[in-house]
Structure 1
């Protein structure tokens, strides 16, 4: 594996992890992480495959906390892994996280191989109400009759699992759904940190509030206001993890918060910590 793929025992997180994994250097010190691109025929709907494996000392545990756009993940999990809403090992669908962060506790030895769908990408495979899946995890068999099983991917990295996952997803016969291109345009607008409110999103997209709400709820399961809030908090986390030299007050203002108390409230609600506490790298 090259340096871009294998961040085992790395001291510096890859750029795509900033804003998505809290305290990524602590995570990478305890786990082997890998990612792989899907078959080009799937790239329209699948962002990437990813894997995490760990082998902790007896009695040791580590809680991994992640933020994300309201993406959907399929995960094939083995070993001693615990999170709310599941019984551990198995194959799961995790819906859009909207209430804060997503936490998973690693103990002993285990591993996860995941499929990260692009926002809106699940519509190519299933006709599901994503708003009903917010902040929930369900068995993958609720969506797919024969999902990959832990035994089929035991110990595999994302690179090693990619071929099997490609074949399985292509066998689901993904289809193009009208309206997905409109969502992709809106997501490009959201990627600009200067877009700090729904009014500006409406102005740049040329869409009404109702049209924005309809598009996001259909393809993502989350409204535009919540999408914007999470996007800007993730920008703040990425800046802090990337060593941004701006004072927190200036960072907050640049990302659209004109009241620092509101920024602190929103940051804490999503990450579980204040910016000052988060910057203490020994905090757990």
Structure 2
């Protein structure tokens, strides 16, 4: 299959910005982000998910809340456009939503069903004002879910749900219920996503990758299981996806 040359040259067509939240919102908001694009012909953008719920404002459309995507998705970009978004910390959106986060997994809903007083063309300050007005009371279970996700993110040795459950003093079933309620996807999914992130980090670093050894390092029983999970999450096999990263010059290795 011929690869669209714009996949490697995306900075020519897209501009990304990221902003940190104010300290009083840092417990619920991971980041604010802005993406602008300009394409003279349609482009199919691959989006690989993380376990974040997003609030987005796209051009003149009504704002939407996007639940966690359980797999990769494609966005069709054409002409010029801009989207402003809020990425909530995994586990932090349940108090805003008022129901299990799993209920919006793989779905988008009107943001007005969650937030009052939304601006049409917001900046960071306006969105933060809205979030403060809609800020719910702290939820200890939401905080616990966020802490468990942080444990997964920060410990590359965490590759199994039963080990995670034991680490946080829970049963596997209790952990699954916690994640369904507050994260939107299961703990196995979250573990897999963050361990696979380490694969793309190695791709970006360049150099030869021993796929079988890497699969073992990530806790997979064999290489085919690793390839299957990677392909389901990223939409391409690991070797195909690695083509998205330019080769490292020999004198830079």
TM-score, scaled relative to structure 2: 0.86
Cα RMSD, aligned residues only: 2.2
Matches of 1:184 and 1:200, distance apart in 2: 17
Matches of 2:241 and 2:182, distance apart in 1: 32
**Matched residue of 1:225: which SS?**
helix
Aligned counterpart, 1:93:
65
Aligned counterpart, 2:43:
62
Residues 233, 101 of structure 1: CA spacing in aligned structure 2 closer, same or farther, 3 A cutoff?
same
Residues 78, 242 of structure 1: CA spacing in aligned structure 2 closer, same or farther, 3 A cutoff?
farther
Shift, 1:166, TM fit: 1.1
Give 5+ residue unaligned stretches, structure 1.
1-22, 80-88, 154-160
Matches of 2:81 and 2:227, distance apart in 1: 35
Number of residues paired by the alignment? Answer: 240
Deviations 1:154-201 (A, max 9, x none): xxxxxxx21111111111133201223322331232112211111221
Deviations 1:117-153 (A, max 9, x none): 111221342303211211111221222243232xx24
**Matched residue of 1:257: which SS?**
coil
Matches of 2:152 and 2:207, distance apart in 1: 21
Aligned counterpart, 1:44:
27
2:216 paired with 1:253: yes
2:1 paired with 1:30: no
Shift, 1:24, TM fit: 7.8
**Matched residue of 2:209: which SS?**
coil
Residues 164, 194 of structure 1: CA spacing in aligned structure 2 closer, same or farther, 3 A cutoff?
same
**Matched residue of 2:97: which SS?**
coil
Deviations 1:54-81 (A, max 9, x none): 1222xx12222222322100000017xx
Aligned counterpart, 2:251:
none
| Equivalent residues in 2 for 1:181-192, closer than 5 Å | 181-191=143-153, 192=155
Aligned counterpart, 1:115:
86
Shift, 1:279, TM fit: 1.6
Give yes or no for contact 1:54–1:109 (8 Å, CA) kept in 2. Answer: yes
Aligned counterpart, 1:216:
179
Shift, 1:257, TM fit: 1.2
Matches of 1:244 and 1:40, distance apart in 2: 39
| Equivalent residues in 2 for 1:102-181, closer than 5 Å | 102-149=73-120, 152-153=121-122, 161-181=123-143
Matches of 1:172 and 1:188, distance apart in 2: 25
Matches of 1:182 and 1:45, distance apart in 2: 13
Aligned counterpart, 1:19:
none
Give yes or no for contact 2:145–2:183 (8 Å, CA) kept in 1. Answer: no
Give yes or no for contact 1:125–1:175 (8 Å, CA) kept in 2. Answer: no
Matches of 2:177 and 2:184, distance apart in 1: 9
